[in-house]
């Protein structure tokens, strides 16, 4: 009887471990479904309801110590293909201590009636508070019909604003988001990785979100709101979250108005050039998403009329990113547990999980790179190595069992010992989790003398994706510790040119 119970317990444990491995398939399948939906954007989009529409647009730019970039940004904005009478720029100066006020006042003198300097003497409260200072003034009269929120370094291509405003011709649309492309003319390795990330997360994934009818986030540096939308949301930006752009996106849709992404409205932005700067930026984003996830807990997986935020597709897409590090660890535990049990399912589960991940990854990359040929030409290597060289080796192991244990040693005329085979198997089964530890080490050495050489090299070996997952883990830790949540802006140096 005891042996029978032990057998049942071992069987239950085995299938529990298989279930842990299977959790890793959820974000992979979700990604696959999203990217399968992208071609349907050709027929399921908002363009049929869009029309030429030129509302009076007030551009609000929150600025703190942006003297290096703000002047050129104003000049370029006023030079875009949009009627002069319908475009005004309001720079909300958040108590800058550099030459920002002088630069903006100079532009106000050059462009009378088109550029306005709004000064906050007591700053430091964050981007949302700064924008709200401007909104109180802008909404004080009836001139503005649409509000464009952008950043001090963002460059709009000449036709981008027209492509955004055309969607507001449909009164059902509350807000429009543009495609932010990494715009540095001389990109380093990290900027090229970010460029690929933005193709995947914006040009590709937001097309899919258009198809499914729910947008996760308006681009913080390129979001256009109708006046009606702003007024019905209280005439202010949310100040309780680090992800004020995501909160505005959700609130707009919960109020019954649609949010659309226009991939052809392209703007250029300067992105972090070091892992340290990237980590700081993405940690703020990740903590903001934690706040959003808790704030809208009653929305998830509860479909409602008027919006699609509660659908299964949108919820799975959101939590596949939000819980990805935990899912990665669960999958590794499942694989290693099956290996320890000596289960025949260990190899099947490993090959199934990594085989599915490999097929999904290459399909997604190939499709996404068709959507932005410029980035594809600039960062094709980073596209291939986005998950890292070591992850590529694990993928090869899944597709060609025995390659590193038997075939290559035989070709070299050597024999792989059982210890080497077991060691590589344990590494391959656990790599999906330990990659995040190595990604953390990249961050620790970044900025050191050795880091100048090692950081780029290790990023290609470990992967850019694991860095983003490690940042998410850091956000879990800081949120659990209730660490101070600050809005730290990314330093801009004016690298981007039109």
Q: Could you tell me the residue ranges of all domains in the chain?
A: 52-311
Strand order in the sheet with 115-120: 115-120, 87-94, 57-63, 146-150, 222-226, 173-182, 258-269, 155-156
Local confidence band at 239 (pLDDT 50, 70, 90 cut-offs): confident
State residue 399's pLDDT score: 83
Residue 261 zone, left/alpha/beta (φ > 0; ψ -120 to 50; rest): beta
Residues 392/385, Cβ–Cβ less than 8 Å: yes
How many C-beta neighbours within 10 Å does residue 306 have?
Answer: 11
State residue 419's pLDDT score: 76
Q: Each residue of 435-474: pLDDT tens digit?
A: 999 999 999 999 899 989 999 999 999 999 999 999 999 9
State residue 234's pLDDT score: 92
Tokens of 184: 């540095």
How many C-beta neighbours within 10 Å does residue 63 have?
Answer: 26
Backbone phi, then psi, for 407, in 5-degree steps?
-65, -50
Residue that is written with structure tokens 């599915």 in the block: 356
Task: Give the C-alpha separation, 280 to 283, whole Å.
Answer: 5
Quick check: helix, strand or coil at residue 181? strand
Q: Each residue of 209-236: pLDDT tens digit?
A: 999 999 999 988 899 999 999 999 999 9
Q: Each residue of 410-445: pLDDT tens digit?
A: 666 666 677 777 888 899 999 999 999 999 999 999
Residues 476/402, Cβ–Cβ less than 8 Å: no
226-252 mean pLDDT = 93
| Segment among 141-150, 373-382, 488-497 with least mean pLDDT | 488-497
Higher pLDDT, 183 or 11: 183
For residues 137-152, one letter each, b for 16 or more C-beta atoms within 10 angstroms of the residue's C-beta and e for the rest, the string is: ebbeeeebbbbbbbbb
Local confidence band at 248 (pLDDT 50, 70, 90 cut-offs): very high
105-129 mean pLDDT = 88
Local confidence band at 2 (pLDDT 50, 70, 90 cut-offs): low
- Pairing between β-strand 222-226 and β-strand 146-150 as defined by DSSP bridges: antiparallel
Residues 59/148, Cβ–Cβ less than 8 Å: yes
pTM: 0.92
Domain 52-311's class? alpha beta
Residues 146/55, Cβ–Cβ less than 8 Å: yes
487 pLDDT above the threshold of 60: no
State residue 305's pLDDT score: 87
Quick check: helix, strand or coil at residue 88? strand
162 pLDDT above the threshold of 70: yes
10-29 mean pLDDT = 90
Higher pLDDT, 488 or 426: 426
Higher pLDDT, 492 or 310: 310
342 pLDDT above the threshold of 80: yes
């Amino acid at each position: 009887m005891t042996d029978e119970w032990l057998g049942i317990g071992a069987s239950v444990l085995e299938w529990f471990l298989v279930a842990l491995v299977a959790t890793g398939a959820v974000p992979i399948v979700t990604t696959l479904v999203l990217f399968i939906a992208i071609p349907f954007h050709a027929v399921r989009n908002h363009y049929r309801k869009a029309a030429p529409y030129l509302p009076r647009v007030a551009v609000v730019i929150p600025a703190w110590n942006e003297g290096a970039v703000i002047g050129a940004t104003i000049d370029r904005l006023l030079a875009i293909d949009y009627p002069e009478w319908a475009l005004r720029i309001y720079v909300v100066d958040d108590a800058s201590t550099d030459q920002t006020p002088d630069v903006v006042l100079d532009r106000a003198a050059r462009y009378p009636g088109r550029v306005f300097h709004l000064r906050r003497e007591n700053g430091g409260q964050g981007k949302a508070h700064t924008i709200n200072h401007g909104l109180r003034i802008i909404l004080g009269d009836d001139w503005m019909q649409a509000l464009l929120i952008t950043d001090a370094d963002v460059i709009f291509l000449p036709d981008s604003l027209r492509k955004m405003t055309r969607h507001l011709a449909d009164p059902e649309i509350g807000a429009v988001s543009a495609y932010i492309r990494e715009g540095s003319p001389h990109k380093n390795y990290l900027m090229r990785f970010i460029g690929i990330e933005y193709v995947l997360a914006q040009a590709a994934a937001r097309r899919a979100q258009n198809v499914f009818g729910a947008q996760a986030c308006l681009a913080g540096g390129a979001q256009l709101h109708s006046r009606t939308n702003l007024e019905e949301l209280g005439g202010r930006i949310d100040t309780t979250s680090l992800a004020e752009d995501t909160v505005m996106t959700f609130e707009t849709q919960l109020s019954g108005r649609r949010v659309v992404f226009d991939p052809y409205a392209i703007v250029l932005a300067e992105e972090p050039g070091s892992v340290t700067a990237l980590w700081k930026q993405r940690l703020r984003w990740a903590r903001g998403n934690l706040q959003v996830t808790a704030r809208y807990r009653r929305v998830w997986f509860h479909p409602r009329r008027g919006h699609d935020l509660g659908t299964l597709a949108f919820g799975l897409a959101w939590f596949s990113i939000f819980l990805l590090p935990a899912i990665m660890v669960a999958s590794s535990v499942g694989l290693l547990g099956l290996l320890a049990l000596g289960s025949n399912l260990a190899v099947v589960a490993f090959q199934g999980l990594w085989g599915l991940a490999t097929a999904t990854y290459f399909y997604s990359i190939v499709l996404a790179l068709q959507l932005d040929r410029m980035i594809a030409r600039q960062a094709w290597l980073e596209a291939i190595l986005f998950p890292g060289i070591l992850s590529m080796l694990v993928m090869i192991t899944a597709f060609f069992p025995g390659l590193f244990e038997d075939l290559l040693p035989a070709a070299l005329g050597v024999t792989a010992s059982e210890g080497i085979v077991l060691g590589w198997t344990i590494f391959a089964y656990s790599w999906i989790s330990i990659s995040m530890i190595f990604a953390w080490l990249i961050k620790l050495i970044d900025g050191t003398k050795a880091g100048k050489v090692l950081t780029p090299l290790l990023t290609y070996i470990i992967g850019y994706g694991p860095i983003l997952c490690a940042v998410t883990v850091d956000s879990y830790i800081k949120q659990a510790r209730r660490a101070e949540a600050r809005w730290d802006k990314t330093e801009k140096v004016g690298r981007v040119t039109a």
